[in-house]
């Protein structure tokens, strides 16, 4: 299989390649995403975890999400750049931080989750589906079959 896209942290100590096109891509305004991004939201591209190859040693931080599922966030321990996360409630999937991608145009958002937590000044894009919290069944459950 050929590499679909690549990415890295700010300092280059952690990089990755992915052998799958992004599935669901969404903006998330949950409190944890806002705090880890340093801005109003994060944009994540969902991929099969088996398609992800990481070079370098990311540092991980685990925290329970609203659902009670543990989210494991990987970031560079040297420069602090967020790279990807996994969620125990969605086994086998990885959530690439689009800001870490070498070509972020490869992952165009298709939805917004946790819009209810967006700051009043945030520009929530309403040209695609917007969910006040996480849709039942996760982000991929609301996308049409392709």
Task: Give the pLDDT score at 2.
Answer: 77
pLDDT digits (tens, 9 = 90+) for 8-45: 999 999 999 999 999 899 999 999 999 999 999 999 99
> Do residues 30 and 114 lie in contact, with contact meaning Cβ atoms separated by under 8 Å?
yes
Kindly state the percentage of the chain with pLDDT values over 70: 92
- Give 21's contacts (C-beta < 8 A, 6+ positions apart): 4, 5, 106
**Model confidence band, residue 135 (pLDDT cutoffs 50, 70, 90):** confident
Q: Which helix (H) or strand (E) holds 87?
A: strand 82-87
Spatial distance between the Cα atoms of 134 and 142, rounded to a whole number of angstroms: 10
Greater model confidence, 123 or 67: 123
Sign of the C-alpha dihedral computed for residues 104, 20, 55 and 82 taken in this order: positive
Summarize the confidence of residues 88-114 as an average pLDDT.
95
- Which residues make beta-bridge pairs with 66? none
Domains of the chain: 11-136 (3.90.1590.10)
Q: What rounded mean pLDDT belongs to the chain?
A: 92
> Do residues 51 and 100 lie in contact, with contact meaning Cβ atoms separated by under 8 Å?
no
Spatial distance between the Cα atoms of 73 and 87, rounded to a whole number of angstroms: 9
Residue 61 pLDDT greater than 90, yes or no: yes
Task: Give the pLDDT score at 146.
Answer: 45
Residue 144 pLDDT greater than 70, yes or no: no
SS3 100: helix
Task: Give the pLDDT score at 139.
Answer: 60
Task: Give the pLDDT score at 138.
Answer: 60
**82 CB-contact burial (10 Å; exposed 0-12 / middle 13-18 / buried 19+):** buried
Summarize the confidence of residues 51-61 as an average pLDDT.
98
Summarize the confidence of residues 41-68 as an average pLDDT.
95
Length of the chain (residues): 146
> Which among 68, 95, 70 has a CA at the least distance from the CA of 84?
95
Residue 121 pLDDT greater than 60, yes or no: yes
> Which among 38, 31, 47 has a CA at the least distance from the CA of 10?
38
């Amino acid at each position: 299989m050929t590499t679909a896209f690549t990415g890295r942290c700010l300092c280059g100590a952690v990089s990755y390649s992915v052998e799958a096109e992004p599935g669901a891509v969404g903006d998330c305004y949950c409190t944890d995403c806002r705090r880890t991004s340093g801005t109003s939201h994060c944009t994540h591209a969902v991929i099969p975890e088996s398609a992800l190859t990481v070079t370098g040693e990311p540092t991980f931080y685990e925290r329970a999400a609203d659902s009670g599922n543990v989210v494991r966030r990987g970031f560079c321990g040297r420069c602090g750049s967020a790279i990807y996360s996994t969620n125990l409630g969605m086994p086998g999937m990885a959530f690439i931080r689009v800001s870490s991608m070498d070509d972020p145009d490869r992952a165009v958002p298709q939805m917004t989750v946790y819009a209810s937590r967006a700051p009043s000044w945030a520009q929530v894009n309403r040209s695609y589906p917007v969910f006040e919290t996480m849709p039942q069944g996760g982000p991929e459950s609301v996308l049409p079959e392709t």
